[in-house]
Amino acid sequence: MHVDLDAFFAAVEEKNHPEYKGKPIIVGADPKQGSGRGVVSTCNYAARKLGIRSAMPISRAWKLCPQGVYLPVNYELYEQVSSRIMRILRAYADKFEQLGIDEAFLDVSQTTSSFEEAEELARKIKSAIRDEEGLICSVGIGPNKLVAKIASDHRKPDGLTVIREDSVKQFLRPLSVEKIGGIGKKTKERLNSMGIRTIGDLASYDVTRLRKAFGSWGEEFHRMSQGIDESEIVEEWVTKSYSREHTFQEDTSDKGLIQSTISDLCTDVAAEVARNGFFFRTVTIKIRYEDFETHTHSRTLSFASANPEALKAPAIKLLEPFLLTDKKVRLVEVRASSLSERIEQRTLES
Ligand code: TTP
Ligand code: MG
């Protein structure tokens, strides 16, 4: 199950200020009567009706709707509301993974025994968020994370979309390729220039040609276009682990810098693991974009190690898909977990 709040920042403002109800609310940079720089973070659905969207220049939003309510981003407030919502959601999940400030994956495959039961649970979750926080969310339910996330976005606001295994292909076929997480604007344009517009186009495209164009990502795109996704829900760091994070001085899209930062963090983390007498098996990276969307991805090795290279190689690989977007990166983190105590190697003589 994937849960995503509707018009999150704007909805929090609307709830705190009943006097704004029904008006277009735009959260983001100061419009300064039309001469402001910067962009729209988000806006409510009344503003979306007028054509305003996230990431649009604020000056353009002003042109479309000078009579709207313009508010600065109060990130601290949204984060407080977010953490209360995440606490509510977590209680319904067997396994829980927060993805961004307003979205999370819930593994409910143990708690529920059918898609009908999962749907019923989703209704309960929607009511709980409405009753306790006065906010509306959309929920997607599917056989895996990929499908659930696309489904939650399908009928916003206040959506509830259930996609069973046997209707995955039919559901995905007509959708634009950019609905697939990891396919950003640039990749979408390259796909379009190859005549690939819908997920259906991608699914029926020759995989060898995709591989030539995008390397191993071509194969991954092809798998995703068929609704295949075996990635697991990554629980927050519950087990003991060692980690280091780095916030860039300025948000960056310099891939070389991001990779070398990850590599340096790996060196430090591996050294700390070794110093404390442990081996690690699980490597996790976290990446936060300029808009605070945050992703974590892990891989568990088949062997335990304290070697920095054993951390670096998978960390760099896990990072790759997150560098395909146009968004700038704010923060990266490397974590080593699934620790085991290091047993000193005995020599033959001893
Ligand atoms: P989203 O879930 O993408 O957007 P949303 O919740 O505003 O609207 P929707 O109903 O379509 O889900 O992002 C969550 C919050 O992240 C959003 O409220 C504001 C912030 N954000 C930005 O600051 N910049 C952006 O470009 C986007 C997309 C979101
Ligand atoms: Mg949202």
d(CA 203, CA 169): 9
pLDDT of the residue at 343: 57
* pLDDT tens digit sequence for 275-293: 888 899 999 999 999 988 8
Q: How far is the centre of ligand 2, averaged over its atoms, from the C-alpha of 28 (Å)?
A: 15
Residue that is last in its domain, among 74, 105, 133:
74
Residue 294 sits in which domain range? 241-341
Residue to substitute in 3, 8, 155 for testing ligand 1 pocket (most ligand atoms within 8 angstroms of CB): 8
For the Cβ of 42 lying below 6 angstroms from any atom of ligand 1, the answer is yes
Statement: residue 329 has pLDDT above 70: yes
Residue 235 lies in a domain: no
Give the distance (Å) from ligand 2 centre to CA of residue 72: 18
> Does the structure show a pLDDT above 50 at 238?
no
Query: Which listed ligand is nearest to 288 at the C-alpha?
Result: 1
Are 118 and 182 found together in one domain? no
Return the active site residues.
103
Shared domain check, 327 and 264: yes
The Cα 85–Cα 163 span in angstroms is: 24
- Determine the distance separating the centroid of ligand 1 and the alpha carbon of 114, expressed in angstroms: 31
The CATH number for 132's domain is 3.30.70.270
Same structural domain, 187 and 276: no
Closest C-alpha among 33, 35, 37 to residue 66: 33
Residues 256 and 187 in one domain: no
pLDDT level of residue 340 (50, 70, 90 thresholds)? confident
pLDDT in tens, 130-186: 999 999 999 999 999 999 999 999 999 999 999 999 999 999 999 999 999 888 888
Asked whether the predicted pLDDT for residue 350 surpasses 50, the reply is no
Where a domain ends, among 225, 249, 264? 225
Least confident residue range of 51-55, 209-213, 303-307: 303-307
Cβ–ligand 1 contact at 294 (below 6 Å): no
Is a pLDDT exceeding 70 seen at residue 348?
A: no
Per-residue pLDDT of 64-113, as tens digits, reads 999 999 999 998 899 899 989 999 999 999 999 988 889 999 999 999 99
pTM: 0.73
Q: Compute the chain's Rg from CA coordinates.
A: 22
Least confident of 43-57, 201-215, 336-350: 336-350
Inter-CA distances, 144 with 91, 151, 160, 230, Å:
20, 11, 16, 7
> Per-residue pLDDT tens for 251-268?
999 999 999 999 999 999
Ligand 1 atom nearest to 28, measured from its CA: 23
Dist. CA 3 → ligand 2 center (Å): 9
pLDDT higher than threshold 80 for residue 341: no
Probe residue for ligand 1, chosen from 12, 40, 45, 54 as the CB with the greatest number of ligand atoms within 8 Å: 54
The pLDDT, as a whole number, for residue 281 is 92
Pocket test for ligand 1, best of 44, 45, 102, 327 (most atoms within 8 A of CB): 102
Same domain for 44 and 103: no
Q: Indicate whether 347 belongs to any domain.
A: no
Kindly state whether residues 194 and 111 are assigned to the same domain: no
Residue 277 lies in a domain: yes
* Tokens encoding 325: 């977007």
- Whole-number mean pLDDT of the chain? 92
**CATH code of 275's domain:** 3.30.1490.100
- The C-alpha atoms of residue 221 and residue 202 are separated, in whole angstroms, by 8
Find the range with the poorest average confidence among 1-10, 185-194, 269-278.
269-278
pLDDT category, 306, cuts 50, 70, 90? confident
> How many structural domains is the chain composed of?
4
